[in-house]
Amino acid sequence: MESRQITVIQAAAILVSTIIGVGVLALPLFAVKAADSAAPLVTLLGMLLAFFGLVLITILGMRFPDKSVTQYSEEIIGKGLAWIGSILIIAFFAVLTSLTAREFGEVVVTSVLRSTPVEVTVIVMLLLAAISTRNGIITFAYIHTFYFPLLIVPALIIVALSLKNADLINLLPVLGNQPTGMVTGTLTIAALFQGSFVLTAVIPAMKKPENAMKASVWGMVIAGGLYFVIVIAAVSVFGAEEIKQLLWPTLELAKATSLPANILERLDAAFLAVWVTAVFTTLFSSYFLTIHSMSKLFRLREHKLFSYFLLPIVFVMAMLPQSIVEMYEIIENVGRIGLYITIIYPGLLLLISILRKKRGNRVEDKKVDQNG
């Protein structure tokens, strides 16, 4: 076990840079398809649902501060059931990694490198993630903390500048025209926050696991707040009906935005540079969580063994969707199914651990034992 070095700020940075990822491009489209002009409201509800799931895994992590979800689930529900749960977590995040890589490949090939095969962009990004995951959890935290300001600051500047083209009438009616799609939309948006599950691997390496809830709140407020303002900006600039015709509304928002005095007439190139960084950090986290969970499941001291082992499997899965439309259908369906793994499963674990009065060693107790 590596020494506890991760601070609350680093844990929050990991959450933010993991949540903000590839889905940011299609986010306004998902929200608008669900509820027209009520897209900001759906985004807010999705964020609250995702935060509920994050609170569950944070409380669990604080109850078992020296173990990851793979380990403490065995204590709570027994080895057999815990193995099934852990394998589902590993499989889900492996699929999520592959879909993130494929979506990245499609955007790059469509927008920038038009004559490059999508397989090349996908394998390059996966290889970059595989090499990076060979480091330990402390280096993992440092990488995320380094990229954190590089993601947030440019994204906020682009959103703020785009608001000069906004028309508030586009945000009305606030409750939308078809509230029937709001439930589905809320689930789809909540699925974009599932990378926050990486906190289960981070808490055992935190200096003060008892402060993990602070990191969760800050992480969700910053990432969720950014998603919320992006949807408001996109809907207020383009209007709900126009967004339905766009594949990646956030990219179009950057294209329609310019710096004052026309220093840069279009910000899409700058935005894509930020977006590539965001995709890397998201992919890095889901890949790391997958191999970290595998190493804990098989009681191995190192997770490096799985870094390259997983690569061909994830690459093959990434290449399975036949088109962008099919890929987004799979992403939406997989995301909604994943909510059972990232919200309902931790909820059941927490409930059973409370009923059975199961709890791990407190960090203070371990320090007393070592000093005594």
- 111 pLDDT band, cuts 50/70/90, is confident
Q: Where do runs of H (alpha helix) occur along the chain?
A: 8-19, 27-35, 39-63, 69-77, 79-111, 118-132, 137-162, 182-191, 199-202, 212-238, 240-243, 249-255, 268-297, 305-309, 311-318, 324-339, 345-355, 363-371
109-123, 235-249, 257-271 — which is least confidently predicted?
257-271
Within its chain, how far is the Cα of 146 from the centroid? 17
Cβ neighbour number for residue 145 with a 10 Å cutoff: 18
The answer to whether residue 258 is domain-embedded is yes
Written as six digits, the tokens of 144 are: 């995320």
State the Cα–Cα distance between residues 238 and 244, nearest whole angstrom.
10
- 61 pLDDT band, cuts 50/70/90, is very high
Written as six digits, the tokens of 152 are: 């947030």
* CATH code where residue 161 lies: 1.20.1740.10
At residue 357, what are phi and psi to the nearest 5 degrees?
55, 40
Structural domain total, the chain: 1
The answer to whether residue 3 is domain-embedded is no
For the segment 30-56, the average pLDDT, to the nearest whole number, is: 94
Q: What is the pLDDT of residue 358?
A: 86
Q: What average pLDDT does the structure give for the chain?
A: 90
- 188 pLDDT band, cuts 50/70/90, is very high
The answer to whether residue 349 is domain-embedded is yes
Q: What is the pLDDT of residue 300?
A: 85
Q: Which one-letter amino acid corresponds to residue 310?
A: L
314 and 94 Cβ atoms separated by less than 8 Å: yes
Q: What is the pLDDT of residue 80?
A: 93
Q: What is the pLDDT of residue 261?
A: 64
Task: Report the candidate in 24, 60, 17 with the shortest Cα–Cα distance to residue 345.
Answer: 60
State the Cα–Cα distance between residues 323 and 65, nearest whole angstrom.
43
- 370 pLDDT band, cuts 50/70/90, is very low
Q: What is the pLDDT of residue 263?
A: 67
Q: Examine the pLDDT at 368 and tell me if it is beyond 50.
A: no
Supply the range of the domain harboring residue 165.
8-364
For the segment 156-166, the average pLDDT, to the nearest whole number, is: 88
For the segment 268-294, the average pLDDT, to the nearest whole number, is: 92
Written as six digits, the tokens of 202 are: 């981070």
Q: Examine the pLDDT at 371 and tell me if it is beyond 50.
A: no
The answer to whether residue 191 is domain-embedded is yes
Residue with the bigger pLDDT between 74 and 362: it is 74
State the Cα–Cα distance between residues 234 and 179, nearest whole angstrom.
20
